[in-house]
Structures are given as structure tokens and as C-alpha cells.
Structure 1
């Protein structure tokens, strides 16, 4: 006895058709950018892998600081006016030039590294605090990298100094959020959480810098251990992993 072949009901067919139409009409995933690599240059011939990683990390950290300077100026426009700049863009550009030329910052009384950072976060500091803070952070980071922003085979990094820089930045970000000026307000308006807004973009940007420092510190520590392992592997490979003649 043959059983009749069952066909989909009209309702089921309608549901299937709507599902297919919905799948076809679903929007494509939003494009969120692509990895941007630097152009190749002859300078890379003088860099090891770790040199290249350190150079890229430093470049990204400085770019993050320039973005933070711009964001802080947007929320604290009185700061760039204190410094006498004609506008926010000019203030960021002037700050960037001072950092990349490794020149001091006059309102910081030519202090450098953590001494400059301490002054920039002092409640009584009355000049452009955005410029002072970003310049001091950048100077501290560069000092932790041996005073350099680009690294070659002859250069070495101290893992402990990188680790210390990450902890210093954590402390500085906490002080920026917790300390109050003479009027009882925050040193700078940055992250904000309230009923209408949740803006943690500053914390995320600082977090990326800290993460890169910690990773580079770990990679630097690994470098010497891996060099020994690589040497032993080379000896083992040269002794035991050679093909034998068959004729």
C-alpha cells in the first residue's frame, strides 16, 4: 500500500517564503575598517622582529596620546586657551611637535618623566593641564623605552622599565579621575557616567596603551630565554635532523 506524499501546507509555505525573503533582505555586516600596515622601508633592514614590534607599539601609543589630547581639549576648552593657542587643533599640533622633537615643556619648568607627571597632576597647577599631562605621559613612556621612539638591532629594552611605565600610567589615570582642584572640581573632565550618558572612551584609550606596554615587557623578557632555546634547537637540528646519504 502506497502512502500519499505529503506536501507543505499553504501556511508552512508562506512562513518558509518569508524566512527566505528575510534572509535575503538582512543588512550586510557593517564595515569597521581594515588593518593598516606601514609601508616597507630600508630602515627595517636594521630591525629585528622585537625592534619592529617595539617601534610599532611606540607609534600607536603616541598616536593614542594625541587622540586623547584632542578629546580632552574638546571637553576642557579652557585649557588650550590657557596655553595661548588660537584653537584646539593648533594646541594639539604644538604639543605633538614638542613630544616628537623631545623638547621640554616650559610650563612644566622643564621637568621630565615622572617629575613632570607629578607636577601636571598637582591640584595647584594653573597652566594648560591637558598639554602638561599628555606631554608628561609621553615623556615618561619614551624614557621607559631608553629615550627612543624607533628601535634597531643595537638597541635594547628594559622589561622592568616598561612594566613600571604601565603601572605609572595606571596611577596617573586614577589620580586624574580622583583628585580635585582648588575649586573642588575634577582636574580635567574625562570619563563620565550618569543617567543620560556613559562615556568611557578615555579609559579605553589609556587601557590600550597600558596593554601594549605590558605585552612588550613580556615579549622583551621572553627574548633572552627564546634566544637560548633557539640556540639549543639549532644545535639539535644540526646534529640529529640531517638527512643521511643513500648512495
Structure 2
């Protein structure tokens, strides 16, 4: 397979929009290009990903590699796309199963050794994933039925059943997020999302290939019960304020 698709999210404040990472391997002079409004940090991921794959013992394909970050009109920043790009290359090259990427979202910066560094925006990414899943699940039950037997009219009789309901492609289970180990606890605070913390690229790839790894168990939300409330000034002490 020479094409792989990996899901991730952009670090936009308050919404963390969905980003589709498409990786294509083609014949021709070896090259590695990233398109889709990448900033300097994202363009530099070419060197981080190449070194990480080689230092982890994976084969880096000597082919024409094109990475598309969709949608193309959304600016992409930070090193969080290192992990989905690396996984896309491995899946397109047949080194990990491509179907293991379905229904999962990935983000994280790679070191040259393949270790995953902490990232910012893990909580926002989890909120965006949970929000999109809830919206998709609600749409699956409220989609418009365009089939001819719904009494709409004979002019729509040729529409296939597979596109009859607008919400038919909604995911059937909550999303799974795969993040750097040091960022997973933050994302686990969001209910309805299963979060896995990965220490490095080889451990994550082994998990995706079906090998059990205790380090990639679902991360539980940190317990905050019993912690003292932080001391804050009493507004009643401010002139003109009443308690």
C-alpha cells in the first residue's frame, strides 16, 4: 500500500480542528515534501521523522514522499504532527497495519531517538475529539432520510442506500487518542475519550501491530479529590465590594 491516512488535530485555541494527514509514496527521485500550509516547525519534522525512523530500526523508504495536511487552508504549526507523519510513512510502506490507524487520533513530537516529547494542547485535543464524536453520534440519529420509500418522491430513487442517511458514517465508539506519555494525563481529564500514553515510537508501533505492552494501557484521569483549594483573595476586602 502506497497511501496511508492518519487523523490528528491542530493546536487552534478552543476548538482543536480535525487534521487529516495523508502520506503517499511514489516512484521517482527520492524526496520528502509536506504541503497544506505547514509552518517552519512542521517543515522541520522531515528531519526529525527521518532520523527517528532510522534510529528505531525502521526502514525509511527511498521514494518520493508527499505528506498532505488537510484541510489545506488551515495553518499547521508545532511539532505535534511528527508522530502522525511517521506512522503514515510506516503504514504506507507496509511496516505497520494501516487498518490499525482507523478510529484513532495521534499527536506528538519525536526526538531523534524516537522518544515522544510532551506537547501542548493535549486537553484541547481531547475536548475536540469528544465534541466531534458526540456531534457525529447525535447526527446518526437525526439524519435526513432521502430514500425513495420515505415518501420524498421518485426523483431520488436512484440514491444508493449507503448515502441515504447523512449521519451513517458516524463513529460507533468514542475516539482513542495516542499522545506522549507525559501529556496523556492532561487529556484523560476529558470524559468520553480513551487516552493512551506512549513513551516512544517503537512501543506504539508494537501496540498497533497487536503486541501487548503494559506501557500503553489506557490512562486514568488524575484524582484531585482531597486536595486543598488554592488560597485566593476575598473580594469582600476590596473597597466597594460586598461578600
TM surpasses 0.5: no
Q: Which has the higher strand share?
A: 2
Q: Where on the TM-score scale, by shorter chain, does this alignment land: which range?
A: under 0.3
TM-score normalized by structure 2? 0.24
TM-score normalized by structure 1? 0.23
